[in-house]
Structure 1
Amino acid sequence: MADRNNQAQTVDKDWWRGAVIYQIYPRSYQDSNGDGIGDLKGITRRLSHIASLGADAIWISPFFTSPMKDFGYDVSNYCDIDPIFGSLSDFDAMIAEAHRLDIKVMIDLVLSHTSDQHPWFVESRASKTNAKADWYVWADPKPDGTPPTNWLSIFGGSAWQWDTRRCQYYLHNFLTSQPDLNFHNPEVQDALLSVTRFWLERGVDGFRLDTINFYFHDKQLRDNPGLAPELRNAKTAPAVNPYNHQLHLYDKNQPENLEFLKRFRAVLDEFPAIAAVGEVGDSQRGLEIVGEYTSGNDKMQMCYAFEFLSVDPLSPAYVREVLKDFEKAAPEGWACWAFSNHDVVRHVSRWGAGISDHDAHAKQLAALLMTLRGSVCIYEGEELALPEADLAFEDLQDPYGIQFWPEFKGRDGCRTPMVWESAVPNGAFSTGKPWLPVPARHTVRAVDVQEKDAGSVLHHYRRFLAFRREHPALAKGKIDFAHADDQCLAYTRSHGNETLICAFNMSERAAKLDLPAGEWETLSGHGFAAERDNQKINLPPLGAWFGRLA
């Protein structure tokens, strides 16, 4: 385990601000034993790839003991490793190797709910009088036997499941096998904070908190109001999901959460240089909640909402709108932006319809992401510009996709295995049959192929992360927008004595852009080429230009 005391004087407590965090979905990263499922030893083997990118940290999706109904997001033991991923000693070895490579390790804590196989729930459902009877959200039916409220599950249907042992309903915001913990019970909070300490003492550098705004429910069990059709959007659930028909006032987003987040932060502050990023899932109040959760210096260091993970088209105006809205909603806060993750269609496919130059588009999106104000999450395979995989129904594993097929195909298309070597079966992910198919159009984009091509997307990510490190304004500076129309976007990033300008042509038509007043010198080392004519920039299709105020 890590010696925190020896690190205390040397670690930068502010390392997370502007950090680039590489997300690993462990089932799909690297299999070390041929069972078709990625594992911790596989991650350790491939950490050198992440180090070569220049990422500051990794975020690993859940690897805890689980029946895997939701592939690890249904935890049955918070303090052990599921055997399919390895052992605690494998985890310790991975931490040691990551730290040797100067990579921080953040893990995914799923605190809002557990598996129905967790011993806490097994005891809770046994009777109404046992020691953990109130550890989950139980409620009597309405007089007619129907659920206590109209709350809906993100995975479809009512958020309440009838239990014949207690003759009561229990709350589940996701699968019926994922009962929600009762955060109104201080014992539950204490148990979860003990879990947090367990992993901090094991050497982790931080956490990604799953569904952070779902922790508390309304104690009065009031019904959610409906939403008019014109007010519905699909930021946190697919358009075909009736979850979008409600304004979620009472099943999540409760004010009591702020006090728990302060307790959580106090535990983090017992250790040097720990950081947490919260996932805020709400279609109407996402950025507002981010502002609440990151205000002051006593809750989350950073959060992200779904603005850049949703189906909304990416345009210069939309980028400016989101960043402006964030500044307004969270003037004290710090964002962590992501374009892709394990829950959404890969962004090169989501935003790439009609784009003829796939790689140029991927390179520009990477540059855009890494020059926005905030920290950055990169999802495995993004550095290869992997498109969304198109899977047959019989190959699906995701219960979400199976439920809403074919209008919504679920999350398996972004979870297919990482591809390392093009000429090796399964892209060298596994010597066995992978848990999800490896598409042929992915293997041609394997790491070994792109290593040989200096112009590849992989090398572009490396160049741009190095460019970001060379210019602190890109990681920590303020942002001011200079231009946004239907084609072009430009903004300045300022920190200390450095002011940079970042200009993008987000269309496939050539464009001209006027620079703001001032003497701007052209910067190199980022991989883009654009001609400059005094105060005008001639931006090629999907091009970019970067300058510094002299």
Structure 2
Amino acid sequence: MATASRSGDDWWRGAVIYQVYPRSFQDTDGDGIGDLRGVTRRLPHIASLGVDAIWLSPFFTSPQADMGYDVSDYCGVDPMFGTLADFDAMLAEAHRLGLKVIIDQVISHSSDRHPWFVESRSSRSNPKADWYVWADPKPDGTAPNNWLSIFGGPAWEWDGVRKQYYMHNFLSSQPDLNFHNPEVQEALLSTVRFWLDRGVDGFRLDTVNFYFHDRHLRDNPPLVPDPEATSNDAPDVNPYGMQDHLHDKSQPENIAFLTRLRALLDEYGGRTTVGEVGDGARSLKTVAAYTSGGDKLHMCYTFDLLGPDFTATHIRRCVENFQAVVTDGWVCWAFSNHDVMRHVSRFVRDEAERERVAKLAISLLSALRGSICLYQGEELGLPEAELAFEELRDPYGIRFWPAFKGRDGCRTPMVWEGALANAGFSAGIPWLPVRGEQRMLAVDAQENISGSVLEHYRSTLAFRRLHAPLLDGDMRFVASNQDILAFIREKDGERLLFVFNLTREPQTVQLSTGTTVAEVLPMPGFAPAFAESAIMLSGLDVFCGRLRA
């Protein structure tokens, strides 16, 4: 059977994207920090998984206060990662291997060391005075309103030169750009064009719903908790989650800007965008607005599957909610990324089931309707690393320790060769430590080992490519026990039935009248029993069968 992988301008629809966190991927110069040459060196590993693209987290010039998400030059490569020539070489090698390259675009805010902000804060009358969000204090000297920073405290920082506050949704060293100013939009779009001209295939848009703020700076009301919400804006130790963020993000003006951005990408053809949307209970409505009509974003992801819940009820609710709200848009599903605890650590009850949960998770992710994103190291089943406070580098974790440990535990270095110093990541001292429990799961310990998590990822992604329904076919759930997740994927006459047992107990599923399995398809790593109209599943098991037409 021919593979169902896509080509052409819609290659992104149903694509598998592999996220690379450059500072933790591969170090080639011994400074303990990964670099672009390291990415190039390891591209064959990524290609061997059978993915379609890589997403490269920020490598731009930056003071690194927030690990590169504080950009001081949108068109430059930070020296710790290499040079523009290194980027070009990486891009060329990725393309040679058949991989698309998506880069992070962090344009809701910049570093306070960006020349734009340096000029903006110098006076109230300079040419860039209105390029950032500035506001006068209240008569008593306090901040203009009650908006909060995700990283703790008010979203406003006092500047003594201008005698005004400036807005920052994250660190005070990450001032928010003023998208209400047309000159700001033009400048940012020109940086997007810079990378398009270099040949990148798309952009992951960081905090894409944070671009605009309410011009009137109205206070946010308190949040009325929604027990049906499937995602949250912040951990419950952070007071940011106590507000209903009606005015500091997700403003209607963003639609027009996203239309301009899409028009720019369409000039080049075959490019894509994936937006990060964090909007609490409104996330799906925001995704619908941002992906509808085919003239804005190509796809978005939310935080719905990035929490601790790995149950049939939760996943079905997330998918059905998406299908009901986002009627003509596209989603990119993920269980892990650089901002959340690694999913095997979120989902497992004990270490004994880590490998089986890792396999089940990628099998499920690969069967959902949408594109999918994998985070480096999940193909090894890496657990979250435990770090001491003095080892932390993440300002978010440092601010809320010990109630919230931050994001460093999922950002520790990739493990390549278990017997080498730092598991082959670096000859120097790594910026974050390499833990022994991760070292034992290194690539060389799993390569060509039948039944390993790594080989399971390769087999599962190959299975996905073999079946057109798994790329962009229809998806509908079928009636089942509440603890069982069962659905059909269908396209061009091929109908596949998937049944996932996310519990730890054996389950028997009776097929509904009229549902006849013509052929049991061997899902990699699983061997459920099938007898007439009954499917017998062990704990953490999955069944796939082709239905009779």
- Per the TM superposition, whether the score is higher than 0.5 is yes
Deviation, 1:515, is: 2.4
Q: 1: CA distance between counterparts of 2:18 and 2:435?
A: 22
Asked if residue 300 in structure 1 is aligned to residue 307 in structure 2, the reply is: no
Contact 1:112 1:180 in 2 (8 A): yes
Distance in 1 (CA, whole Å) between partners of 2:352 and 2:453 is 16
1:90 to 76, 86, 91: 86
Q: What's 2:172 paired with?
A: 176
Q: Retained in 2: the 8 A contact 1:316–1:485?
A: no
C-alpha distance in 1 between matches for 2:349 and 2:468: 34
TM-score relative to the length of structure 1: 0.96
> Counterparts of 1:180-219 in structure 2 under 5 Å?
180-219=176-215
**Structure 1 gap ranges (5+):** 1-9
Contact 1:11 1:272 in 2 (8 A): no
Cα displacement string for residues 228-273 of structure 1 (whole angstroms, at most 9, x for unaligned residues): 4566987221110000110000000100000000000000000020
Stretch of structure 1 that moved more, 315-324 or 76-85: 315-324
Deviation (angstroms), 1:277:
0.2
Q: Is the 8 A contact 1:233 1:244 kept in 2?
A: no
Match of 1:519 among 513, 516, 520: 516
Deviations 1:193-224 (Å, cap 9, x if unpaired)? 00000000001000000000000000011000
**C-alpha displacement of 1:484:** 4.7
1:505 and 2:501 matched: yes
Contact 2:313 2:483 in 1 (8 A): no
The residue aligned with 1:494 is 490
Q: Which residue of 1 aligns with 2:32?
A: 36
Cα displacement (A) at 1:526: 2.5
d(CA) in 2 for partners of 1:543 and 1:284? 31
- Which of the residues 299, 307, 310 maps onto 2:307? 310
Query: Is the CA contact 2:18–2:46 (under 8 Å) kept in the aligned structure 1?
Result: yes
Give the AA of the match of 2:130: D
Match of 1:283 in 2: 280
Aligned to 2:58: 62
For residue 474 of structure 2, what is the aligned residue in structure 1? 478
CA–CA separation in structure 2 for the residues paired with 1:39 and 1:447: 19
1:127-182 superposed Cα distances (whole Å, 9 cap, x missing partner):
00000000000000011111001000000000000001100000000000000000
Alignment partner of 1:529 out of 527, 530, 538 = 527
Q: Which residues of 2 match residues 404-423 of structure 1 at below 5 A?
A: 404-423=400-419
Q: Is the 8 A contact 1:492 1:502 kept in 2?
A: yes
Confirm or deny: 8 A CA contact 2:110 2:174 kept in the other structure.
Answer: yes
Distance 1:354 1:48 in 2: 33
Q: Which residue of 2 aligns with 1:220?
A: 216
Pairwise CA distance, 1:227:
1.7
> How many residues end up aligned between the 2 structures?
540
Q: How many Å apart are 1:11 and its aligned residue?
A: 5.5
User: 2:528 touches 2:536 (CA, 8 Å); kept in 1?
Assistant: yes
Unaligned runs of 5+ in 2: 1-5
Q: Deviation at 1:310? A: 2.5
Alignment of 1:433-444 (within 5 A): 433-444=429-440
Distance 1:355 1:122 in 2: 50
Whether contact under 8 Å (2:231, 2:303) holds in the other structure is no
Matched to 1:248, the amino acid is: H
Task: Determine what percentage of the aligned residue pairs are the same residue.
Answer: 60
Secondary structure, in 3 states, of the residue corresponding to 2:293? Answer: coil
**C-alpha distance in 2, partners of 1:334/1:354?**
35
Contact map agreement 2:288 2:326 (CA 8 A) in 1: yes
Provide the aligned C-alpha RMSD in A.
1.3
- Whole-Å separation in 1 of the counterparts to 2:510 and 2:401: 47
CA contact (8 A) 2:102 2:201 kept: yes
